[in-house]
């Protein structure tokens, strides 16, 4: 097992600074999920931890040991990539045992470890097959198994489930959760999948353009996002935002009638999650444009005149396109209009 400390980690490629001073502590046995838009530096950070990229500034510690100059092999980490990177000419057994053979473990021990891990991942019957004879989900499990047999201090997962179809992905998500519980290992997992992040993580770190936006439990990020970026990024469908202005003890949404029941002087953002509207409330009135039924729930796309908003309601929601609808606020989030920083959260 492993704990990690990132102290002001920087990484640049030539003149381009990709990681701009990342500070983070990961505790022993923690499952940390790293999210952020494409190109924000997630894979780069993972590769720096694995030792596949050299850190250009700051200090990285694994188990209190400075590892900036330590080779990948000596870091005791196992990485699972989106592409799985299995050797096509080797059987599942050989693929899984490869790292152990390189580490010159005795044959008998390799055999025993591979069998044990194969059993736990349901791969026993597939051990003599080649990767080309496996389904995507099975290949994914082999890639996972190859990491697990090495019994590393730290697992690094880079989008490990994104090549799978939706149902297999949710199955493998559960498998990952079980695996983590059983091994008690420390994991850093990069994903762009909201559900993966929210369900697997002890804590989530949100990165944007190489800058850490917030680190916290899924609940913290969802309930008290540190800024408008995190508020928009976490949660699907995304939060609705309205530019607002407060003056003379009264605040309202720019361009709409109706006074808000809270007050902030000057310009600010109001954020409302699709689940946090009160249908039948008396703040806004609009027209239902589209109803998207998702089975148990529906997404109502509503035209408020100057703004379009999304409202999530239980089915049967009782609305069809063209209906008028009035909305009030349940929970709300307020952000600074200039910096995007969190000002307040509340519930009415």
Q: In the complex, which residues of this chain contact ligand ADP (CB under 6 A)?
A: 13, 18, 36, 38-44
- Which residue, 35 or 327, is less far from ligand ADP as judged by CB? 35
Give the residue with the Cβ less far from ligand ADP, 42 or 342. Answer: 42
C-beta closer to ligand ADP: residue 196 or 276: 196
Cβ proximity to ligand ADP: between 43 and 186 the closer is 43
Instruction: Output the CA angle 256-258-263, nearest 5 degrees.
Output: 105
DSSP 96: H
CB of 37 vs ligand ADP, minimal distance in Å: 7
Query: CB of 41: closest distance to ligand ADP in angstroms?
Result: 4
Q: How far is the CB of 283 from ligand ADP (least distance, A)?
A: 38
Closest approach, Cβ 13 to ligand ADP, in A, equals 3
Tell me how far, at minimum, the Cβ of 45 lies from ligand ADP, in Å: 7
How do 331-336 and 342-347 pair as beta strands? antiparallel
Query: What whole-number distance in Å separates Cα of residue 31 and Cα of residue 299?
Result: 32
Considering beta carbons, is residue 37 or 136 the nearer one to ligand ADP? 37
Name the strand (E) or helix (H) holding 6. Answer: strand 4-13
Give bridge partners of residue 213 from the DSSP assignment.
Answer: none
Inter-residue contact 57 to 9 (CB < 8 Å): yes
Whether residue 212 contacts residue 23, with contact meaning beta carbons closer than 8 Å, is answered with: yes
**DSSP type of residue 294:** -
The alpha carbon of 226 is separated from its chain's Cα centroid by a whole number of angstroms, namely: 16
* Cα separation, 148 vs 78, whole angstroms: 8
């Amino acid at each position: 097992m492993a704990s990690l400390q990132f102290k002001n980690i920087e990484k640049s490629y030539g003149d381009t600074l990709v990681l701009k001073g990342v500070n983070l502590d990961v505790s022993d046995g923690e499952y940390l999920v790293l999210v952020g838009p494409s190109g924000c530096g997630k894979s780069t950070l993972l590769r720096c931890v694995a030792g596949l990229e050299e850190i250009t500034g700051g200090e990285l510690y694994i188990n209190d040991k400075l590892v900036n100059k330590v080779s990948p092999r000596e870091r005791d980490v196992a990485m699972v990539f989106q592409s799985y990177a299995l050797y096509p000419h080797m059987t599942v057994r050989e693929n899984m045992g490869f790292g152990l053979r390189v580490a010159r473990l005795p044959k008998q021990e390799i055999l025993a470890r591979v069998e044990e891990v194969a059993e736990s991942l349901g791969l026993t019957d597939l051990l003599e097959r080649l990767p080309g004879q496996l389904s995507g989900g099975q290949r994914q499990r082999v890639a996972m198994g190859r990491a697990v047999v090495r019994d590393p201090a730290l697992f690094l997962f880079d989008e490990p489930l994104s090549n799978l179809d939706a149902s297999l992905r949710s199955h493998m998500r559960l498998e990952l959760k079980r695996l983590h519980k059983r091994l008690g290992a420390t994991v850093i997992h990069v994903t762009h999948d909201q559900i993966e992040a929210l369900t697997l993580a002890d804590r989530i770190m949100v990165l944007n353009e190489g800058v850490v936006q917030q680190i916290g439990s899924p609940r913290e990020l969802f309930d008290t996002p540190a800024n408008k970026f995190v508020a928009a990024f976490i949660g699907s469908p995304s939060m609705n935002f309205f530019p607002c202005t407060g003056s003379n003890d009264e605040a309202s949404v720019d361009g709409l009638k109706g006074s808000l029941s809270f007050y902030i002087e000057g310009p600010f953002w109001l954020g409302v999650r699709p689940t946090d509207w009160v249908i039948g409330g008396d703040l806004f009135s609009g027209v239902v444009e589209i109803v998207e039924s998702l089975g148990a729930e529906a997404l109502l796309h509503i035209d408020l005149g100057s703004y379009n908003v999304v409202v999530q309601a239980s089915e049967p929601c009782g609305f069809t396109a063209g209906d008028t609808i009035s909305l009030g606020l349940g929970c709300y989030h307020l952000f600074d209009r200039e910096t995007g920083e969190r000002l307040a959260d509340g519930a009415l």
